[in-house]
Amino acid sequence: MASIYTHQDKNIRKTWLLMTSFLIVVVGIGWAFSWYMGSPIILYVVIAIALFMNLFSYWYSDKIVIKMTGAKPVTRESERELWNIVENLSITAGLPMPKLYIINDSAPNAFATGRNPEHAAVAVTTGILKLLDRSELEGVLAHELSHIGNRDMLVSTVAVVLVGFVAILADIFIRMTFWGGAGRGGNRGGRLQLILLIVGIIAAILAPIAARLIHLAISRKREFLADASGALLTRYPEGLASALEKISNQNQPMRRQSHATAHLFISNPLGSGKSKGSKINALFSTHPPVEERTKALRGHI
């Protein structure tokens, strides 16, 4: 029977699979470059870069996410109510107190990041603090702490860095085919350069699609689980359900937004929180429709 612990183990396996796949793909691209350019040193450099990016994404991706969102650290003195809510919920959940951050943005939103509960952070916008009452804010923060407890953030945060790096590699791949180099000479070299250019263009097109698919794979189910876990933590599902409805009704995009980090937030920071539109749009959203989430939450009441 599945439990919270099997979910944690599954997310850890997903992270290792993502990092291993990234390593294999990047090394394969490096080998193709080194063969085409006739320089084995390229392969060694690419392997070193791939290993570095894996380690860097694991240890520092949370700091990158915080920097990307413009979040500022919070102290107990500066935001006493917020601090007390998170501290009490952390004690109830049996989790270490995460670092707290605030994003100066009127759009109501929140996210959690970090490789494990001991190195976790929770950030909220100034907009969400103004919009929600205490029980609703507790529901949102319990949701984010549940992501930390479920270890959802491990795979999600690592994906931010690795997916972005793959997109950069695709761009480099195209540029190097234009530069040419010490290839395999003659017509064969020209044909090979054309083939590599086509592959580079395809990679550049597929990179954002791959990023989207990764986000979908790690986002939608984990949101339902975090909603349920958060409701169990507060023992008041209506708080989170009401908060989700208020946030959705605002449907306000954040000033600093990125497709790379959109899946981390409780509501899409790009401003498509409502589930209006075609079924195709709903399918490719990083977040489940709010109506489905609130229905599931109120089913626990």
How far is it, in rounded angstroms, from Cα 107 to Cα 44?
A: 45
| Burial annotation 203-231 (CB, 10 A radius, 16+ → b, else e) | beeebeebbbebbeebbbebbebbbbbbb
Half-sphere exposure of 115 (CA within 13 A, CB side): 14
Question: Can you say whether the dihedral through the CA atoms of 271, 126, 217, 158 is positive or negative?
Answer: positive
Asked about 245 being catalytic, the answer comes back as no
The answer to whether 266 and 247 have CB atoms below 8 angstroms apart is yes
Token pair 């102290």 in the structure block, residue: 75
Rg (Cα) of the chain, in Å, rounded? 22
Catalytic residue of the set 136, 138, 144, 223: 144
C-alpha dihedral, 11 to 14 to 19 to 20, nearest 10°: 140
C-beta atoms surrounding 180 within 10 Å? 12
**CA 169 to mean position of chain CA atoms:** 20
As annotated, the active-site residues are 144
